[in-house]
Chain A
Amino acid sequence: MSADYAHPEVLVSADWVTEHLNDPKVRVVESDEDVLLYDMGHVPGAVKIDWQGDLQDQLVRDYIGAEKFATICSRAGIAPDTTVVFYGDKSNWWACYAFWAFKLFGHKDCRILNGGRKLWLDQKRPTTTEVPRYKPTDYKVAGADEAAIRIFRDDVLAHMKAGKPLIDVRSPKEFTGETLHMEDYPQEGALRGGHIPGAKSVPWSRAVNEDGTFKSASELKALYEGEVGLKPTDDVVAYCRIGERSSLTWFVLTYLLGYPKVRNYDGSWTEWGNLVRMPIARGE
């Protein structure tokens, strides 16, 4: 089923996870939008790593440093050679975000449970509320992958000026700039609505099926190459509101389609839409 993906080994099935539940070389990590879900029941043996409370710095808008990352991994019983399988709610948005953050620190073997939390529960697979304890590891951060997968605003501006492909993965109304103008709703944290000029709108959700699994390689190719016109050799930047949904698109382009140069702009719209004099396009 997944054999036609560029890197099929990065996507694991619920059966695979079931077979490896007691494998000491495998650690299952739940990462959700809704922080209560893990405590309501999770994959047996899985640990919770929260994108906000654990992986983000609590003062500066950035990720934690290498030392803290090593502490989190050690506490979760993750060694540098552990296979880490991420899963979560919302078709694995946050699982992909945690996956991406682990790659920032150069963790080698990261995978995604296809279908995430929803499919696991829909298939009535076992869950537990028991929080496991693992023997701490001596985790050494490999690092050095950041420049390959993360991009900052000045480079995004240069990327835009060079006319290179930008993919906006937010909802169509966020893309056109309409959502900041709806009555009665608090703002989403940006002062201006719209998108980065030249960006193409491909909502993240178009890459997944109803059941939370990823679409097939041929469907993904038809979307990103047929419809949007990307080429596998392109230098692609993806963004959304804070970089969470775009990490799913980053995952799809990098691992399922095998594009060698895809970066996630995690500053995303909450940075771009607030910066003075940044170019913005409105409408479709």
Chain B
Amino acid sequence: MTESETAVSTTLDEIAAELSEADKQERIELLIDFARSLPPLPERLEALKDPDHKVHECQSPVYLFVELEGDRVQLYGDVPIEAPTVRGFVSILVEGLNGTTVPEVLGLRSDIIQRLGLLEILGMQRLNGLNGVLHYLKSKVARAAAGAGASSA
């Protein structure tokens, strides 16, 4: 199995199924629920909110943190509630990808945004920021994995 064919986490698949089966208004409400349920950053990360952990593509201040526990990915995010769309998306990624492996995250295709049914509620022009979040997340995971590989070598 090549990396790009790696099965994506079932949790994320379940979220995608739930969202895409909902009608437009329900989907908006589900996304709001996700936005409201993003866990707060652990205190030790709160102090590390610096430009290096900021997703610059987004108009809103979005911070993402990636940690590895063995071969498992642990994600943390911080987005103001005034930007519920991005916050909801980050919350979906945190819930859907925590505990998955590095190849699973790197193999995640960017059509996940469409599979979550977000295009219909957000429109084309609002997807840029979300693509930026996904892109940033993958590059962070790749860097964390490379760092882990280097230190164990």
Residues of A within 8 A of B (CB): 33-37, 39-40, 50, 52-53, 89-90, 118, 182, 184-186, 188-189, 242
Does B83 count as interface, using CB distance less than 8 angstroms?
yes
Partner of B31, one of A36, A89, A185, A242: A36
Q: Give the Cβ gap from A179 to chain B, nearest Cβ, in Å.
A: 9
Instruction: Tell me whether B132 and A36 are in contact (CB under 8 A).
Output: no
Closest to B25 in A: A39
Q: Which residue of B lies closest to A184 (CB)?
A: B139
Number of A-B contacts (CB under 8 A): 52
Q: How far is the CB of A37 from chain B (nearest CB, A)?
A: 6
- A89-B82 in contact (CB<8A): yes
**Chain B residues near A (Cβ < 8 Å):** 25, 28-29, 31-32, 35, 56-57, 59, 82-86, 88, 121-123, 125-126, 128, 131-132, 135-136, 139
| Chain B CB within 10 Å, residue with most, of A33, A34, A184, A185 | A34
Please give me the residue from chain A that is nearest to B120 by CB atom. A53
With A35-B121, A186-B131 given, name 15 new contacts (CB 8 A).
A33-B59, A34-B83, A35-B85, A36-B35, A36-B85, A39-B29, A52-B125, A53-B123, A90-B59, A182-B56, A184-B135, A184-B139, A185-B56, A185-B132, A242-B125
Q: Which of A36, A186, A189, A242 interacts with B32 by CB under 8 Å? A: A36
- In whole angstroms, what is the CA distance A118 to B82 when docked? 9
Docked-complex contact A186 and B132, CB < 8 angstroms:
yes
The CB with the most chain B CB atoms within 10 A, among A35, A36, A52, A189, is that of A36
Which B residues touch A34, using CB under 8 A?
Answer: 82-86
Q: How far is the CB of B142 from chain A (nearest CB, A)?
A: 11
Q: A34-B85, A36-B31, A40-B32 are in contact. Are A185 and B135 (CB under 8 A)?
A: yes
**A residues within 8 A CB of B128?**
186, 188-189
Could you tell me the distance between the alpha carbons of A185 and B131 in the complex, rounded to whole angstroms? 9
Give the residues in chain A near B29, CB-CB below 8 Å: 39
Q: List 23 A-B contacts (CB under 8 A).
A: A33-B59, A33-B126, A34-B82, A36-B28, A36-B35, A36-B85, A36-B88, A39-B25, A39-B29, A40-B84, A52-B126, A53-B123, A118-B82, A184-B135, A184-B136, A185-B56, A185-B132, A186-B57, A186-B128, A186-B131, A186-B135, A188-B128, A189-B128
Chain B residue at smallest Cβ distance from A117: B82
Query: What is the CA–CA distance of A223 and B25 in the complex, to the nearest angstrom?
Result: 43
Question: Of all chain A residues, which has the CB nearest B29?
Answer: A39
Instruction: State the Cβ distance, B40 to closest chain A Cβ, in Å.
Output: 18
Residues on A with C-beta less than 8 A from B28 are 35-36, 39
- Give A52's nearest chain B residue, CB to CB: B123
Chain A residues whose CB sits within 8 angstroms of the CB of B59 once the complex forms: 33, 90
Q: Distance in Å from the Cβ of A247 to the closest Cβ of chain B?
A: 15
From A33, which residue of chain B is reached at the shortest CB distance? B59
Residues of B within 8 A of A39 (CB): 25, 28-29, 32
